[in-house]
C-alpha cells in the first residue's frame, strides 16, 4: 500500500487506515527505510542549496516573506516529503541567512563542522532526554565527561562540576542564581535581615561593556532595579581594576552585599578580555563570587598560541562557555561550569515521579539535579563527536585563524582614510564606521552608517552588524569563519563605502540648504 511517496505495510487487524497512515511516520524498526530516504532527501536539499549559494542572504524583507508563510494552510498536510521540501525551499532555505558564507560578518554565529552535524543527526533520531538516567543512560555519562574535560581545560580543580545549557544567557542566569543563593545565606547568617530585605540590597558588578544578560538575569532573579552596577572600562574596553576596587569599597561602606562580580572574557562588541588575575585578586580579598562570562572567548581554551589570554579564569567560581560560538558547533551547545559542585544544589528539586531523593543515595546520576531545565537535548554529543573525530587542537586552529584575520582586518581599516576603527580586539571582532570627509556630510555619519548596513543587507552581498560606541552608530565585523579572506573583507568595505558615500552625496546638499535657510 502506498501513501503519497510512502510504502506502508498493510494495517494490522482492527487498525483504521488513518491510524496506519499516521503510524507510517513513526521512527521505528518498521520504518527505517523511510527514515533513511527522508533524511537523505533533506540533506541533499541543504547540500544543493549550499552549493549554489553565492551570497550570505537573499535580502528579502519580512513584509515580502511573511505572506508566503502565513498563506500556508497547516490543516491540509502535503503527505509527500518531496512536496514538503519543495515548499520549505520557498519559505526557508531560499532566504535563510547562511553563516558558512565568507561574507557573513555580523553576529556571533559560526559555520559548523561536519562531525557536529553528524552528532545532530544521531541525537535527534535517538531523542534522549538529559534530565534523568533512565531517559539517557550513556548520554548522561558523555555529558558529564565533557563537563570534566572543560573544567580541566579551565583549571577549576577536582571539585568542579557543571551542566550543559541552551546558551550563554541561560548559563549567566544560572551562575547568578547560584551566587544569589550563596550571598543570601551568608548575609542572613550575619544579620537578622529577612530574605526580602537582603534581596533588595544585593548588588552585581560588571563591566560597562558586559553582556545584556547580566541585567536581564538580575531582573528575573528579583533583584532591585539598581542592583547591577556598571564598572568603568579602559580605552580597550576592559574593566578597570581600580574602578572595580572603588565600587567594592563603596558597596562595603553602604552595607550593600555584592553577590557577584561578572568579568567578561570576550565582550560581544569589542572582543575584549577583562584583566582576570587582578579582578580575581579583588574578589578574593572581598570574599565575593567571581563569574567569568567566556561565552565568546572560550575558544581560547583550545588555542595553542593564545591560551594565556585566559590566565586567571581558573580562579573563577563559575564560568560560562558557548561551544556554539567558538567551537564551531550548531546551536545550541553551551555549558555552565562551577568550581564547587556543591553550589549546584541551589538548582536541585526532587520530584517523586522523576528524580526522588533516594536516587542520590543510590548514586544514580540525574542531570536534572543540576539544571534549571528538565527536558533537555543531548547537545553534548555534537561536541563529543567533534573532539573524537577532529580533536581539540584542530578546533583551536580554526579559532586562531579567525583571530588572525580580525587583526589583519583591523590593520586594513586603520590604514583606510574612509573609515574610523575602534580598539584592536583580542579576539575576532572589529568595530568601525564610515567617516565622511570634513564638511557638511560629516554630521551625517551616524545616518550614513545605518543606511549602509541596511542597504548592504538588502543587497544580500554581505551581512555586517551594528552597535553604538559613545553614543554614535558604528558597524561591526564578527569574524568566525576561517574561509573569510582579507579580499572578502576589503570587498565588503568597498561596498559599505559606496552605500554610505551615495547617502552623503544625496543628502549633504540638503543639509547645507537647510542650514543656509
Helix extents (H) in 191-289: 195-201, 213-220, 241-253, 276-286
Cell readout for 464 is 555586517
> Which residue from 239, 240, 256 is spatially nearest to 248, judged by alpha carbons?
256
Does 463 share its domain with 402? yes
Does 216 share its domain with 144? yes
162 DSSP β-pair partners: 337
Does 216 share its domain with 258? yes
Whether residue 110 is contained in a domain is answered as: no
Instruction: For residue 52, give its domain range.
Output: 17-98
User: Tell me, what's the pLDDT at 353?
Assistant: 86
Does 92 share its domain with 141? no
**CA–CA gap between residue 176 and residue 203 (Å, rounded):** 11
Whether residue 160 is contained in a domain is answered as: yes
**CA–CA gap between residue 390 and residue 160 (Å, rounded):** 26
Whether residue 8 is contained in a domain is answered as: no
Residue 325 has pLDDT above 50, yes or no: yes
User: Tell me, what's the pLDDT at 374?
Assistant: 94
Does 410 share its domain with 381? no
416: left (phi > 0), else alpha (psi -120 to 50), else beta? beta
User: Tell me, what's the pLDDT at 12?
Assistant: 62
User: Tell me, what's the pLDDT at 67?
Assistant: 96
**CA–CA gap between residue 102 and residue 30 (Å, rounded):** 43
User: Tell me, what's the pLDDT at 294?
Assistant: 98
Kindly state the average pLDDT of the residues 381-408.
98
Does 367 share its domain with 237? yes
Residue 514 has pLDDT above 60, yes or no: no
Rounded to the nearest integer, the mean pLDDT of the chain is 94
**CA–CA gap between residue 175 and residue 284 (Å, rounded):** 17
321 DSSP β-pair partners: 294, 335
* The domain boundary residue, chosen from 389, 423, 457: 389
Residue 512 has pLDDT above 80, yes or no: no
Residue 242 has pLDDT above 50, yes or no: yes
Does 245 share its domain with 288? yes
Describe the chain by its helix, strand, coil percentages, rounded to 5: 50, 15, 35
Does 194 share its domain with 252? yes
Whether residue 120 is contained in a domain is answered as: no
User: Tell me, what's the pLDDT at 511?
Assistant: 61
User: How many structural domains compose the chain?
Assistant: 3
Kindly state the average pLDDT of the residues 171-179.
98
- CATH at residue 231: 3.40.640.10
Does 290 share its domain with 421? no
Does 316 share its domain with 168? yes
User: Tell me, what's the pLDDT at 269?
Assistant: 95
Residue 4 has pLDDT above 70, yes or no: no
Whether residue 408 is contained in a domain is answered as: yes
Residue 134 has pLDDT above 70, yes or no: yes
Residue 508 has pLDDT above 80, yes or no: no
Whether residue 4 is contained in a domain is answered as: no
Residue 497 has pLDDT above 80, yes or no: yes
Kindly state the average pLDDT of the residues 205-218.
96
| pLDDT tens track for 334-375 | 999 999 999 999 999 888 888 888 898 888 899 999 999 999
Whether residue 60 is contained in a domain is answered as: yes
Percent over 70 (pLDDT), the chain: 96
Does 215 share its domain with 327? yes
| pLDDT tens track for 282-299 | 999 999 999 999 999 999
Q: What letter does residue 383 receive in the DSSP assignment?
A: H
Q: How confident is the model at residue 3 (pLDDT cuts 50, 70, 90)?
A: very low
Residue 513 has pLDDT above 60, yes or no: no
Residue 1 has pLDDT above 50, yes or no: no
| pLDDT tens track for 141-168 | 999 999 999 999 999 999 999 999 999 9
Whether residue 473 is contained in a domain is answered as: yes
- CATH at residue 494: 3.90.1150.10
Question: How much is the pTM?
Answer: 0.93
More confident residue, 214 or 506: 214
Does 248 share its domain with 348? yes
* The domain boundary residue, chosen from 337, 360, 389: 389
User: Tell me, what's the pLDDT at 345?
Assistant: 95
Residue 5 has pLDDT above 50, yes or no: no
| pLDDT tens track for 414-463 | 999 999 999 999 999 999 999 998 877 788 999 999 999 999 999 999 99
| pLDDT tens track for 59-92 | 999 999 999 999 999 999 999 999 999 999 999 9
* The domain boundary residue, chosen from 369, 389, 409: 389
DSSP string, 170-215: HHHHHHHHHHHHHHHHHHHHHS---HHHHHHH-EEEEETTS-THHH
Amino acid at each position: 500500500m502506498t501513501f503519497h511517496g510512502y510504502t506502508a505495510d498493510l494495517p494490522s487487524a482492527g487498525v483504521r487506515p488513518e491510524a496506519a497512515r499516521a503510524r507510517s511516520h513513526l521512527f521505528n524498526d518498521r520504518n527505517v527505510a523511510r527514515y533513511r530516504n527522508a533524511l537523505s532527501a533533506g540533506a541533499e536539499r541543504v547540500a544543493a542549496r549550499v552549493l549554489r549559494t553565492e551570497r550570505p542572504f537573499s535580502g528579502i524583507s519580512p513584509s515580502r516573506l511573511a505572506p508566503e508563510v502565513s498563506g500556508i494552510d497547516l490543516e491540509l498536510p502535503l503527505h509527500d516529503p518531496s512536496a514538503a521540501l519543495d515548499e520549505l525551499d520557498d519559505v526557508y532555505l531560499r532566504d535563510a541567512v547562511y553563516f558558512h558564507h565568507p561574507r557573513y560578518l555580523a553576529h556571533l554565529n559560526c559555520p559548523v563542522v561536519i562531525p557536529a552535524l553528524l552528532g545532530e543527526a544521531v541525537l535527534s533520531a535517538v531523542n534522549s532526554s538529559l534530565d534523568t538516567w533512565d531517559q539517557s543512560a550513556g548520554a548522561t555519562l558523555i555529558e558529564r565527561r565533557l563537563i570534566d574535560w572543560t573544567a580541566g581545560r579551565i583549571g577549576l580543580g577536582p571539585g568542579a562540576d557543571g551542566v550543559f545549557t541552551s546558551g550563554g544567557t541561560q548559563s549567566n542566569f544560572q551562575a547568578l542564581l547560584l551566587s544569589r543563593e550563596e550571598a543570601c545565606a551568608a548575609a542572613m547568617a550575619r544579620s537578622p535581615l529577612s530574605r526580602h530585605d537582603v534581596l533588595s540590597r544585593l548588588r552585581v558588578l560588571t563591566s560597562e561593556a558586559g553582556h545584556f544578560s547580566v541585567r536581564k538575569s538580575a531582573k528575573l532573579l528579583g533583584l532591585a532595579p539598581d542592583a547591577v552596577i556598571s564598572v568603568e572600562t579602559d580605552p580597550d574596553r576592559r574593566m578597570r581594576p581600580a574602578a572595580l576596587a572603588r565600587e567594592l569599597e563603596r558597596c562595603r561602606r553602604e552595607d550593600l552585599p555584592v553577590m557577584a562580580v561578572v568579568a567578561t572574557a570576550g565582550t560581544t562588541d569589542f572582543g575584549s578580555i577583562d584583566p582576570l588575575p587582578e579582578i580575581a585578586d579583588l574578589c578574593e580579598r572581598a570574599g565575593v563570587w567571581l563569574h567569568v562570562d567566556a561565552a565568546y572567548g572560550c575558544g581560547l581554551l583550545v588555542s595553542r598560541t593564545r591560551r594565556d589570554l585566559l590566565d586567571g579564569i581558573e580562579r573563577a567560581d563559575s564560568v560560562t562557555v558557548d561551544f556554539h560560538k567558538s567551537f564551531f558547533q550548531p546551536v545550541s551547545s553551551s555549558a555552565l561550569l562551577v568550581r564547587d559542585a556543591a553550589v549546584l544544589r541551589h538548582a536541585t528539586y526532587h520530584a517523586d515521579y522523576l528524580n526522588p531523593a533516594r536516587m542520590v543515595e543510590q548514586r544514580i546520576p540525574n542531570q536534572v539535579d543540576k539544571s534549571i531545565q528538565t527536558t533537555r537535548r543531548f547537545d553534548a554529543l555534537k561536541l563529543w563527536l567533534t573532539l573524537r573525530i577532529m580533536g581539540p587542537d584542530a578546533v583551536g586552529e580554526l579559532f586562531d585563524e579567525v583571530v588572525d584575520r580580525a587583526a589583519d582586518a583591523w590593520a586594513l581599516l586603520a590604514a583606510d582614510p574612509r573609515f574610523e576603527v575602534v580598539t584592536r580586539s583580542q579576539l575576532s571582532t572589529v568595530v568601525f564606521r564610515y567617516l565622511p570627509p570634513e564638511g557638511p556630510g560629516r554630521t551625517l555619519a551616524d545616518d550614513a552608517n545605518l543606511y549602509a548596513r541596511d542597504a548592504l543587507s538588502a543587497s544580500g552581498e554581505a551581512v555586517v552588524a551594528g552597535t553604538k560606541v559613545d553614543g554614535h552608530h558604528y558597524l561591526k565585523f564578527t569574524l568566525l569563519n576561517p574561509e573569510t579572506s582579507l579580499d572578502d573583507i576589503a570587498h565588503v568595505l568597498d561596498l559599505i563605502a559606496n552605500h554610505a558615500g551615495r547617502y552623503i552625496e544625496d543628502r549633504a546638499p540638503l543639509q547645507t540648504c537647510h542650514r543656509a535657510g
